[in-house]
Chain A
Amino acid sequence: QKEVEQNSGPLSVPEGAIASLNCTYSDRGSQSFFWYRQYSGKSPELIMSIYSNGDKEDGRFTAQLNKASQYVSLLIRDSQPSDSATYLCAVNLQAGTALIFGKGTTLSVSS
């Protein structure tokens, strides 16, 4: 059974700190990896996608992928209270197929 595991949290960090979110996946055939942010009562919003090993940076966000360890992470630098949300890790085997979601990690950034 294909699974995506995340620590549910909550992860609490002070404003300005680095938040580190982690995710592991079970299917070695997974090809695409995504991080979504979901505010309470809203639908998920795509933050980052990553397809190859290594780091990918976009503004304050850095996604890291290690296929050998079946591990993907998201770093949020200079965390802001507005970053407080649930972060969902998702993977799929190929483009156009359904995403498999983790249960999400709740991040709380205190001012």
Chain B
Amino acid sequence: GAVVSQHPSWVICKSGTSVKIECRSLDFQATTMFWYRQFPKQSLMLMATSNEGSKATYEQGVEKDKFLINHASLTLSTLTVTSAHPEDSSFYICSASSGEQYFGPGTRLTVT
């Protein structure tokens, strides 16, 4: 089956620093990748849609200058959380689509 990886799987950073999360489709080319955020006991909330070679489309309420998304190739998308604050602590999950969507294992971000 389709495999999507994410790195790192967990990260702890200090308030004010930036964190980059990578999402890779390992055995297929993904024209579209999606970034979700999930808070405890809640469902996945779409943050942005990323198409290779073009600017990401952000959902309402998601700050594009804070959550920088780059989709440089058909197998790699990155999410950079800039100037992170404790309220950004969450479980960030990417998915890659070649029709059906396959999720990465997620990255747990804790901002202290």
Q: Check A44/B97 contact, CB under 8 A, given A96-B32, A98-B34.
A: no
Q: Check A102/B100 contact, CB under 8 A, given A42-B105, A42-B106.
A: no
B99 touches A104 (CB 8 A): no
Tell me if A43 is interfacial: C-beta within 8 Å of chain B: yes
A103 touches B101 (CB 8 A): no
Complex CA distance for A58 and B31, rounded to whole angstroms: 28
> Which applies to chain A's interface (DSSP): helix, strand, loop or mixed?
loop
CB-contacts of A86-111 with B (<8 A): 88, 95-104
Tell me if A46 is interfacial: C-beta within 8 Å of chain B: yes
Q: Check A44/B103 contact, CB under 8 A, given A96-B32, A96-B97, A98-B34.
A: yes
Tell me if A62 is interfacial: C-beta within 8 Å of chain B: no
B103 touches A45 (CB 8 A): yes
Q: CB-CB < 8 A to B100: which residues of A?
A: 34, 46, 49, 95
Closest partner residue, chain A, to B95 (CB atom): A99
A-B pair count, CB < 8 Å, reads 46
B105 touches A43 (CB 8 A): yes
Complex CA distance for A68 and B24, rounded to whole angstroms: 38
Q: Name the distance in Å between B92's Cβ and chain A's nearest Cβ.
A: 10
B105 touches A96 (CB 8 A): no
- Additional A-B contact list (15), CB under 8 Å, known A97-B49, A99-B95, A100-B46: A34-B101, A36-B103, A41-B91, A41-B108, A42-B106, A43-B93, A44-B44, A45-B103, A46-B101, A46-B103, A49-B100, A88-B44, A95-B97, A98-B34, A99-B46
| Chain A interface residues (CB < 8 Å from chain B) | 34, 36, 41-46, 49, 88, 95-104
Offer 9 A-B interface pairs, CB within 8 angstroms, sorted by A. A41-B108, A44-B103, A46-B100, A46-B101, A95-B99, A99-B46, A101-B43, A103-B42, A103-B43
Going nearest first, the 10 A-B pairs with the smallest beta carbon separation are A43-B106, A103-B43, A43-B103, A95-B99, A101-B43, A43-B93, A101-B44, A98-B46, A44-B103, A43-B105
